[in-house]
Amino acid sequence: MKSWLTTHYPHPDPDTIPWHIYLQDKYKSAVDGISIGDEIFFYEYKYQKPLKDGTEFPRGRVGIVRIAFVSGAIYSRDAEIEYANGDVTPWLWGVPTDHEDEEGFVGRGDVLKVLGYNPGGYLRGFNAGKGVMQLNNAQAYKLTKLFKQGN
């Protein structure tokens, strides 16, 4: 089993969006080698980028808010998001997850420390814009331990 970290904008309230890994079309290869049963850590940003349609989202928790497991193969999706600044982003790939654990939390500072990142970072443009990266075993172990302590 491998472990991965992915970033998410805050979900709407009520939450109608599945907690899957979502990828822009150009970053599909970022999850090459992902398999059913792999562990996924979900890092939630503080804010959703403003959408053209004006949809508002709650403030995110700024840290790892859940751990889940890959439950199927990568799938294509028809999702182009238009942002208030005019940018259109094709989020055309997803990786399904299930068996979510929401009973924990790892704050941004601890996540950055485990990853070996600058303590002032915000994970915007995470992993060169891909929004997902494979973790090593030590990182996954530390994040799981911190998550369980943070409930």
pLDDT 10s digits, 64-112: 999 999 999 999 998 889 999 999 999 999 999 999 999 999 999 999 9
Q: How confident is the model at residue 151 (pLDDT cuts 50, 70, 90)?
A: low
Q: How many domains does the chain have?
A: 1
- Confidence tier at 134 by pLDDT (50, 70, 90): very high
The predicted pLDDT at position 47 comes to 92
Question: What's the predicted TM-score (pTM) here?
Answer: 0.94
Mean pLDDT of the region 15-27? 92
**Which of 129, 36, 131 minimizes the C-alpha distance to 74?**
36
Domain containing 31 — which CATH number? Answer: 3.10.590.10
Instruction: Place 113 in a pLDDT band, splitting at 50, 70 and 90.
Output: very high
Scored b (16 or more CB within 10 A) or e, 41-50 reads bbbbbeebee
Decide if 68 contacts 99 (C-beta within 8 A). Answer: yes
Between CA 111 and CA 97 the distance in angstroms is: 21
pLDDT at 150 exceeding the cut of 90: no
Closest CA to 7 of 35, 33, 27: 27
What residues make up the domain containing 40? 3-149
> Minimal CA–CA distance to 134: which of 62, 36, 33, 64?
33
